[in-house]
Amino acid sequence: MVKAIHTEKAPAAIGPYSQAIQAGDFIYISGQIGINPETSEVVEGIENQTKQVLHNLEAILTEAGADFSQVVKFTIYIASMDDFATINDIYGGYLTEPYPARATVEVSRLPKDVLVEMDAVVYTK
């Protein structure tokens, strides 16, 4: 069984995709960028964008009845590896051990020219 997950507390999808999809015991959260859902504007700076991305992910997790402790895999896409340490410090503040698996990839460009995007896989059992 597949179920779409949507909350007004995270930005609406900017294309033909869902904020998240629950498939059995897993939730797949689409890539989130630093858009403030109240203003629909991208927040400024790597620190603010990283925090906003994590707030958006948290809002979707909450809507799904889950939290960061159930995330089993993150993928982080960044515009510059120069921001890796900053992102890592902020990201780490939202998690507890055992930490999820993760990949971090520098990319040439992200939607709306943001500096960071994250997606997540959640195990609900």
Q: What is the pLDDT of residues 48-92, one digit of tens each?
A: 999 999 999 999 999 999 999 999 999 999 999 999 999 999 999
Phi first, then psi: give them for residue 91, nearest 5 degrees. Answer: -55, -45
pLDDT score recorded for residue 70: 98
> 32 burial class (0-12, 13-18, 19+ CB within 10 angstroms)?
buried
pTM over 0.85: yes
As a whole number of angstroms, the distance between CA 5 and CA 63 comes to 7
pLDDT score recorded for residue 1: 80
pLDDT in tens, 93-119: 999 999 999 999 999 999 999 999 999
Instruction: Please state which of the ranges 10-14, 34-38, 51-55 shows the lowest mean pLDDT.
Output: 10-14
pLDDT-based confidence at 13, cuts 50/70/90? confident
**8 A C-beta contact, residue 70 and residue 28:** no
Mean pLDDT of 8-21: 94
> 87 burial class (0-12, 13-18, 19+ CB within 10 angstroms)?
buried
Is the pLDDT score of 14 beyond 90?
no
